[in-house]
Structure 1
Amino acid sequence: MSFEQVLKSLNPEIVGSLKRAIELGKWPNGVALSPEQRNLCAEAVSNWESANLPREQQVGYVAPKTKDEPCVGKKDDEQAVNWVG
């Protein structure tokens, strides 16, 4: 089975299981993921999400900052940090 075929067979439940395996570093049965398996799982999750979810719901999405957010572009509020040691 090719990688593309595997991607087509994924569903939200399987993707959730892959994410959990990546987070824990092991499969549900307790067997550790190899570095190659972890990379392949991450690639599968990333590809599936980019094809099936809006950008805002994908793992790793960081919303762009806007002018209305606190601390953006407000130099007046900056304070010096004094390290005690």
Structure 2
Amino acid sequence: MNIAQIIEMIDPEIYKNLTSAIELGKWPNGVALSQPQRELCMQAIIAYDVKHKPEAERVGYVANIGDACGNSKNAGETETRPVKLPDH
């Protein structure tokens, strides 16, 4: 069985359990995730998201500058301001 076949077997309930396991660091039965298990769960979640979710809803999606506040007028522009350090 390859990763593509495994991803096909993931349903929303399994997806929820995988994300919960990563967030809590343990399986629903209380057993801690090992580092390799955590990595495999993350890979499965990312692969599932690519197949089943629009880009903006995927794990790790970061909106473009300006999207968060709805102001894209100045997107890409940065303001330069001097830093003032206190005198000691």
Q: CA RMSD in A?
A: 2.4
Distance 1:36 1:3 in 2: 15
CA deviations over 1:28-64 (Å, ceiling 9, x no partner): 1100001110000000000000011000000110011
Q: Residues 5-84 of structure 1: matches in 2 within 5 Å?
A: 5-66=5-66, 67-68=72-73, 73=77, 75=79, 78=81, 80-82=83-85
Change (3 A) 1:35 1:54: same
TM-score by length of 1: 0.79
Count of residue correspondences:
83
More helix, by proportion: 1
For residues 73 and 62 of structure 2, the distance between their equivalents in structure 1, rounded to whole angstroms, comes to: 16
Q: Residues 75 and 4 (structure 1 numbering): CA distance in 2 closer, same or farther, change over 3 Å? A: closer
Q: Partners of 1:80 and 1:23 in 2: how far apart?
A: 37
List structure 1 runs of 4+ shifted beyond 6 angstroms. none
When normalised by structure 2's length, the TM-score is 0.77
Q: Percent identity?
A: 37
Higher relative contact order (CA 8 A, sep 6+): 1
